[in-house]
């Protein structure tokens, strides 16, 4: 065992403890898969990452991403949090305006928008879910079928069976049967659109949260929740991969504009904010603030 640099970063928030934390081991060299998985299970966070030297010369670093239940080819909040930690630890990208992360999904480009980082959403495949599976998921969520406007299987590495519901209030009211979702072996994302009055009310509901949420210009357009019981995470506080696929699906379908803010984590007492834009070339960028919470070493 050796001392390795370590950081814990809160992602999709500028205020510590209101986002989604990721544990980052900044030197994962020499550790086998069993050791990586064991440490990820021990942290008990939705994701733990390990930074390694790149094997692709186009990349600035390589990242392996683990949940308590297994490895992911890609995930959004670990990408932003790990990049933030790598830069804070002295990482120097090949280009001043871009960082390139290598992961099992391939090369992920990350840009700096002032102090905020944003990743280029990887290619996503969308398909219709099997009606029998959809019916079981809807039942596990405790939803009347009439409240489901649309459903898609979205896959950008992680796969999410994603439901567009009739309102943000419906999303927030969900009380899923997590054991049933685990048995179905299907991660589930849900999204609902806020009215302008609802979003403004969400920002203003307390002074502490108002500071975290920002100005009315940052009012969220949608509320997102992510249920991932099959990988040991009943509800993920803020989910970059899901928001990336959601943006590609719903912007492409004309349901959402080319730039908006998503809220996630509200039901868990968090204040996650995901900043989404689609540029003129059609590339979706998923951004968020990051704040360091823990810095030191870990013995692995």
Q: Mind telling me the catalytic residues?
A: 47
Contact 184, 140 (CB under 8 A): yes
CB-CB contact of 248 with 290 (8 Å): no
From the list 228, 111, 108, 104, the residue with the least C-alpha distance to 157 is 104
Name the residue among 32, 90, 87, 27 with its Cα closest to residue 63.
Answer: 27
End-to-end CA distance of the chain: 5
d(CA 134, CA 26): 40
Neighbouring residues of 81: CB distance < 8 A, sequence distance ≥ 6: 9, 10, 11, 21, 22, 24, 49, 290
């Amino acid at each position: 065992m050796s001392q390795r640099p370590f950081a814990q970063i809160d992602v999709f928030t500028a205020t510590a403890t209101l986002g989604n934390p990721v544990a980052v081991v900044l030197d994962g060299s020499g550790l086998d898969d069993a050791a990586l998985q064991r440490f990820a299970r021990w942290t008990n966070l939705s994701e733990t990452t390990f930074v390694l030297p790149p094997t692709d010369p186009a990349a600035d670093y390589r990242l392996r991403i683990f949940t308590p239940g297994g490895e992911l080819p890609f995930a959004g909040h670990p990408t932003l949090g790990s990049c933030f930690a790598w830069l804070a630890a002295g990482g120097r990208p090949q280009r001043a305006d871009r960082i390139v992360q290598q992961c099992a999904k391939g090369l992920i480009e990350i840009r700096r928008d002032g102090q905020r980082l944003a990743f280029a959403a990887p290619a996503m495949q969308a398909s219709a879910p099997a009606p029998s599976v959809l019916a079981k998921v809807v039942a596990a969520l405790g939803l009347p079928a009439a409240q489901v406007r649309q459903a898609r299987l979205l896959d950008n590495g992680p796969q999410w069976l994603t439901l567009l519901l009739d309102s943000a209030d419906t999303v927030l009211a969900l009380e899923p049967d997590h054991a049933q979702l685990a048995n179905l072996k299907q991660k589930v994302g849900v999204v609902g659109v806020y009215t302008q009055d609802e979003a403004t009310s969400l920002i203003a509901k307390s002074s502490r949260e108002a500071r975290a949420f920002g100005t009315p210009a940052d009012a969220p357009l949608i509320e997102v929740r992510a249920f991932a019981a099959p990988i040991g995470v009943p509800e993920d506080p803020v989910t970059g991969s899901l928001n990336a696929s959601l943006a590609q699906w719903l912007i492409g379908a004309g349901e959402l504009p080319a730039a908006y803010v998503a809220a996630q984590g509200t039901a868990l007492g968090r204040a996650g904010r995901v900043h989404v834009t689609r540029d003129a070339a059609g590339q979706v960028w998923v951004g968020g603030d990051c704040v360091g919470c823990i810095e030191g070493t870990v013995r692995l």
